[in-house]
Chains A and B, each alone.
Chain A
């Protein structure tokens, strides 16, 4: 029985990707539906508890500082920053909760609580408050699977410094187990200072232009006279994301939608 199970598991592992995806999708849409619903309910109740605590704190703060206009303005600015991303998005989108899982591979793929019923389609870009998270790979009726930028096959066309620098960003390992991004193919003459924001270039028709991808941390490779590679600090760490926006349009410029930290 052990060898049979082992062979079956190996066969699934080696099976073509469409078959494996269909199998995983089938399990999610049948056996796992009640369990995923339970987990989403838990996530929502957690968010509501946090919101309730925030509202109570805000009420207490409001009572304490009533009449102090500068303090209220500060509070107002903070709340606007929290809600800002959604209101600043200039393209159609849906918001979803991330349903994290226990495997060490969590963060490479994410299950999000919105699916085909909400208008989500394959390849839809996924963003969070800081910037790019990834794109939708599998769409079920009520959930979607997102491949994040940490996925080994992820690569994206990016730009920086008002399009003076263009290259390809893909996942790279930082020190230890930290996932970073590598910006490749930057012409040798193109100097990119540390701290420069790198955003999506909008090429390829998948991602709109202007979504922050990362920030330059230094040069990691130089091919003399040809090109340089830069290490990027990611704008968003997928494993730490609890809510995302899935964009329902893949064109446009979202530069104004994100604020630089």
Chain B
């Protein structure tokens, strides 16, 4: 498979994730816990691209998320930019084509995104922040990670992620 064909296939999966964010997600249980497909798409893109491009993708998705939940416009753009950049940068430090490492990346990405959104938006502090990050954010990180792993397992040949170690 050449690089362009592989990129196109991954692009199709990412676009499908974005569509699922608006069609499948509303049908899945509690809103605070349901997986964030759009963030998942960003993270899959980020671990396969350069940090700069990942930051741009993060900013773009973040500003869209800000428009959808305009409590503190800019906080989500900031959070997604950082998460996109860190995911891409992490690729250089860790070995990304591995299921366990990918699992850790996805979980950390969701949790850090939620923390940054709440901090940058000055929405919670003290015990409220502690509870939000210790309960709902962990739950959302788990569901998003599980969804991400399912996507990786189904499309592992397209994503070129190894199944062992």
Contacts and interface: CB of A to CB of B under 8 A. Distances in A.
Interface of A: 1-2, 5-6, 8-15, 20-21, 23-25, 27-28, 31-32, 35-36, 38-39, 41-43, 46, 99-106, 108-109, 111, 138, 145, 151-152, 173, 176-177, 239
7 contacts: A5-B81, A6-B55, A13-B77, A23-B67, A36-B22, A101-B31, A109-B70
A105 B55 contact: no
A39 B64 CA distance: 15
B114 interface: yes
B32 A39 contact: no
Main secondary structure of the interface of A (DSSP, over half): helix
Contacts of A25: 67
Interface stretch (B3-11, B91-99, B127-135, B152-160): B127-135
A39 B23 contact: yes
A108 B123 contact: yes
Contacts of A36: 22
A9 B59 contact: yes
A12 to B, nearest CB: 4
Given A5-B56, A39-B26, A173 B69 contact: no
A109 to B, nearest CB: 5
Nearest to A25: B67
Contacts of B25: 102
A28 B22 CA distance: 14
Contacts of A39: 22-23, 26
Given A6-B82, A10-B78, A12-B66, 16 more contacts: A1-B51, A2-B85, A5-B77, A9-B59, A9-B77, A24-B66, A35-B21, A38-B19, A46-B26, A104-B117, A105-B76, A105-B123, A109-B70, A111-B68, A177-B132, A177-B136
Given A5-B55, A10-B78, A177 B70 contact: no
| Size category, B interface | 35 or more
A13 B66 CA distance: 10
B16 interface: no
Interface of B is mostly: helix
Interface in B56-94: 56, 58-59, 62-78, 81-82, 85
A183 B18 CA distance: 42
Q: Which 9 A-B pairs have the closest CB atoms?
A: A13-B74, A1-B52, A12-B74, A177-B131, A20-B73, A27-B67, A9-B77, A9-B78, A5-B59
B112 interface: no
Contacts of A104: 32, 114, 117-118, 123, 132, 136-137, 140
A100 B77 contact: no
Nearest to A110: B69
Contact of B75 (A13, A23, A101, A109): A13
B27 interface: yes
Given A1-B55, A42-B23, A173-B127, A105 B118 contact: yes
